[in-house]
Structure 1
Amino acid sequence: MKYNFDVLTDRRNSDSLKWDVAENELPMWVADMDFRTAPGIIEAVQKRAATGIYGYSIVPDRWYDAIISWWESRHGIRFEKEWLSFCTGVVPAISSIVKRVTNLGDRVLVQTPVYDIFFHSIENA
């Protein structure tokens, strides 16, 4: 899929946590996207929303298949489905990984500068 990431989108006055700030303020503290969502993603969200059902869903096999296929086609690495774990975001993923690969009292390195909540996701793991 080709997409033009060079198109500028003015997000001021749009309830943007990042851009609804003072006139001369340059918000560099939050990793928010500064480009429009790709059309394919917009269409997929609209299609799902059109069902009118917003309950909890399972993670379908096609999600695992997409991850496995992407890594294999781009990097020649083959994952097994059992090796993968669905996470709702980066912070829960960090916490999950720390729980899985460390023991109480182990040291965990966090390279700064970094989003402050990364420290908390480790402390709370």
Structure 2
Amino acid sequence: MVAERHARTGGNRSLRFTAAALATLEAYHWPGNLLEMSNLVATLDALSHSGLIDDKDLPAEMRRQSAEREDFTLRGSEKADILEAIDRSGGNLTEAARRLGIARSTLYLKLDSYGIDRRRKD
């Protein structure tokens, strides 16, 4: 990892990362690739008192981008689950809602939010 390389090549210490920080780093797009990552690690090393890097220690833009990707992934997954339940129910939305474990009215709201046609066969 870049943090280990930084420690070997003159960094003050070996940095440790919380699970939340690692998740944010992995989700980040890294437009500057390795150079951007190396610069971030050097900055974190200089600013960290304990050597333990948490999500809140990372730049706000990085955290925001990670949260947006997570939200996008969750929404896509939910939409796919809804479409699959409707398909398995033969288009019957009452049955699809039962399969999903939600009220039919909640399913209608979700269909509207995802732009899915509510015409049904029940």
Q: What TM-score results when the alignment is normalised by the length of structure 2? A: 0.27
Structure 1 or 2: more helix by fraction: 2
Instruction: Say which one has the larger Rg.
Output: 2
Q: What TM-score results when the alignment is normalised by the length of structure 1? A: 0.26
With a CA cutoff of 8 Å and minimum separation of 6, indicate the structure with the bigger relative contact order: 2
